Amino acid sequence: MEKIRRTKYKKDQVFWGYLFMLPTVAGLIILNIKPAIDTIIMSFSRSTGFGNMTFAGWANYQKLFADKEVWQSLLNTILYSVVSVPLIVVFSMLAAVLMNQKIKGLTLYRTLYILPVVAAPTAVAMIWKWLFNSQFGLINQLLAKVGIGPVNWLADPNTAIYTVIIVGVWSAIGYNMILLIAGLQEIPADYYESAELDGAGPVRQFFTITLPLVSPTLFFVVVTTIINAFQVFDSIFMMIKSSTDAMYKTQSLAYLFYKYSFILNDKGYGSAIVVVLLVVILIITAIQLKLQKKWVHY
Amino acid sequence: MKKNHMLVHVMLILGAVVMVVPFVWMILTSGKTLHESMMIPPTLWPKRFRWDNYSAVWAMLPFAKFYLNTLLLIVGRVFFSVATSAMAAYAAARLRFPGRNLFFSLVLIQMMIPSQIFITPQYMLAQKLGILDSTMGLILPGFVSAFGTFLLRQFFLKIPAELEESAVLDGASIWTIFFRIMLPLVRSGLIALGIFTALFAFKDLMWPLIATTSIEKTTLSAGLANLQGQYSTNYPQLMAGSLLAVWPMIVLFMIFQKKFIQGIATTGGKL
C-alpha cells in the first residue's frame, strides 16, 4: 500500500501550505533559530563596550570551567531538580487520584488547588517571603509553638534552597494535577471493576492498572517538570537577597545567566552559561526519551 | 466504602489548606497596620481592615498602567500566536507540500530548547527595532508559537478527511475550507491555546524585566518586583500589592473555570 502513495503534490496545497506556514517559519527563524545561533556565537565572544563584541575563542568556557560560582550554580540547579521534581510528581499524582473518585465537593477542591497556578509568581514569592519571615512570619511562629526554630528560611545558606523548593512544589502541583486527572479519566472503568472482582485492593489496582495506563501522561508531566525545574528563576530572583551566601548556595544557572547578561552586562559570559544550561537539559531529555521504553506503556 | 471517602476528604482538605492559607494570610495581612503585622504571637484578624495599605501601594506604583500593559501584552500574544499557529498547524496537519516534515521537526526542536537561549538576541533585536519599553517589545517573543503549532496540529489531525473531501468536490478553495470548516471544528483547541498563552504571558517575569526599563511600561509581575526592591519590609503594603497583582487572573479563572481546566488539560498531550 505504501508503494502507491502519491508523490505528486497538488498545486493549490503547495501554495497554501507555504503561505500558511510562512508567518510561523519566519517567526521561528527570526525569534528562535537565529537567536540560538547568535547566543552560541556570543558565547565565544568578549564584550568591548557599547554593545560591540570581538571573537574570544574558548576564553569564556575556560573561565567558566574554572569558575566556582558556575559549578555551585550547576549543583544548586541539580539539587533543586532532584528534590523538587519527585515531590511535584508524587503530590500531583496523589491529588489527581484523590480527585478522580466520586465524592462531593470535587469542583471546590479543584478550584482551590489551581489557585497557585493562576497567581503571578512575583506575588507568590512575596507572599511566601512573608510567611517565611524569620521574625514575624507565620511559619516560624507556628513552629515556635512546638518548640522548633527560629529557622532562618531565606538567609541561611544551607536552608534557602529548600525554602525555594517548597514554593516551587506548591506552585506546580495544580497544573500537573489537571494533566494527570485528564489522563486518569481516559482509563476505562471496567478495568477497575474486573480488578475488584478478582479481589485486588486499591493499592494493587493503583500499581497494576492506574500507573501503567496513565504512564504516557505521567511521562509528559515528568519531562516538562524537569525542564521547568532546570530553568528555575522567578522564585530565586524574588525571594533570596542577591550577593549573599544564601544566594550563592541557591542561585540556578538561569539566574546566573540573567545576572551576567543583564545586571553585570557581560553578555558573552552569560551566553556561555546558558549554552551549558542548554546542553544539560538536552542530555537529560535525551536520557528520558531513551528510558521511557522501560516504563511508559502506549 | 464510607470510611474510604472520609480518608479521601481528610487528605484533600489538608492539601486545600496548604494551597489556600498563603492567600488568606496575604489578604489578612494587607488589612493590618505595620505594627499589627509584627505582633508576637500574630493576630489573625486585623482590628480594623486598613484600606490605606492599598491606597499607599497604588500611589507608589502605577498600577493602572500595569493593568493596561499586562492586558495589551496578553491580547497581543493571544491574537498573534493563535492566528499564526492555527495556519501553520493546519498546513502541517492537512496539506501536503515539500518540506513539511522539515518544518514540523523545526517546531519540535524549538519546544525542547530552554527559552533563555533566545533571550539576549531577542533583547538586541527589540533594541534594534526600537521597541524596548513598548507593548510591541513585550509581545515580541510570542509572535509565533511552536507549542501552539504542535498543539493545534493534534486537533486538526483528529478531523475526519471526508469533511474536507466533500468541500473540495463542492469547489471550495483551501482558504474557505480552512476558515469556514476547519477553524470552527478546532474551536476548543483555539480556546485552550488562548488560555495557555494568556496565563503564561501573565506569569512571565524575565522578559518584561529585560524588555522594559521605565516603570510605566512594564507589566504587573515585573512591576511588582520593584515594590519589593524599594519597600522591602512593609509587609502589609507588600501584601496589598500582591493582591492587586493576583486578583485579575483569579477572577478570570473563577468565571471561565471549566474552559481553563479543559484548556490546561489539553496542553498535556503525549510526547
The x, y and z cell numbers of residue A120, run together, are 503571578
Model confidence at A6: pLDDT above 60 = no
CA distance B200 to chain A (A): 9
- The answer to whether residue A298 scores a pLDDT higher than 80 is no
Report pLDDT for B40: 81
**Which residues of B fall within a CB distance of 8 Å from A181?**
265
Cβ <8 Å between A277 and B11? no
pLDDT at res. A232: 96
pLDDT at B198 over 50: yes
State the pLDDT at residue B94: 92
A46 has which bridge partners?
Answer: A54
Nearest to B181 by CA among B196, B194, B168, B164: B164
- Residue window 254-293, chain A: list those with CB within 8 Å of chain B: 254, 257-258, 261-262, 267, 270-271, 274-275, 277-278, 281-282, 285, 289
CB distance A207 to A279 below 8 Å: no
Average pLDDT over residues B197-226: 93
Angle between helices B2-30 and A68-99 (to 10 degrees): 130
Give alpha helix (H) positions in B95-134. Answer: 100-112, 116-129
Check: complex ipTM more than 0.90: yes
Tens of pLDDT, residue by residue over A111-140, are 999 999 999 999 999 999 999 998 899 999
The stretch A172-178 carries a mean pLDDT of 95
CB contact under 8 A, A35 and B250: no
Convert the pLDDT of each residue in A52-101 to its tens digit: 778 888 999 999 999 999 999 999 999 999 999 999 999 999 999 999 98
* pLDDT score of B42: 84
pLDDT of residue B2: 58
Q: DSSP assignment of A63-109, as one string?
A: HHHH-HHHHHHHHHHHHHHHHHHHHHHHHHHHHHHHHTS--TTHHHH
pLDDT tens profile B7-21: 899 999 999 999 999
Compare B48 and A259 and report the one with higher pLDDT: A259
pLDDT exceeds cutoff 50 at A181: yes
* Per-domain residue ranges of chain B: 62-230
Confidence of residue A50 (pLDDT cuts 50, 70, 90): low
The mean pLDDT of A25-39, rounded to a whole number, is 96
Query: Has residue A10 got a pLDDT over 90?
Result: no
- Residue where the block lists cell 505582633: B39
Give A-chain residues touching B241 at CB under 8 angstroms: 123, 126
**Facing residue for A220 by CB, picked from B227, B239, B271:** B271
Q: Is the pLDDT of residue B116 over 90?
A: yes
Interface of A with B in 130-159 (CB under 8 A): 130-131, 133, 135-136, 138, 141
Are the beta carbons of B245 and A120 separated by less than 8 Å? yes
Q: Do A115 and B238 touch (CB under 8 A)?
A: no
**Residue B131, SS3?**
coil
Q: Of residues B148 and B41, which shows the higher confidence score?
A: B148
Residue A53's beta-bridge partner residues?
A: A47
In this prediction, residues A138-146 reach a mean pLDDT of: 91
Full-model pTM: 0.92
- The pLDDT tens digits of the residues spanning A270-287 come to 999 999 999 999 999 899
For residue B19, list chain A residues with Cβ-Cβ distance below 8 A: 112-113, 115-116, 170, 173-174
Tell me which residue in B20, B40, B141 faces A115 most closely, judged by beta carbons.
B20
Residue A149: pLDDT band by 50, 70, 90 thresholds?
Answer: confident
Whether the per-residue pLDDT at A293 is higher than 90: the answer is no
CATH 1.10.3720.10, applies to B62-230? yes
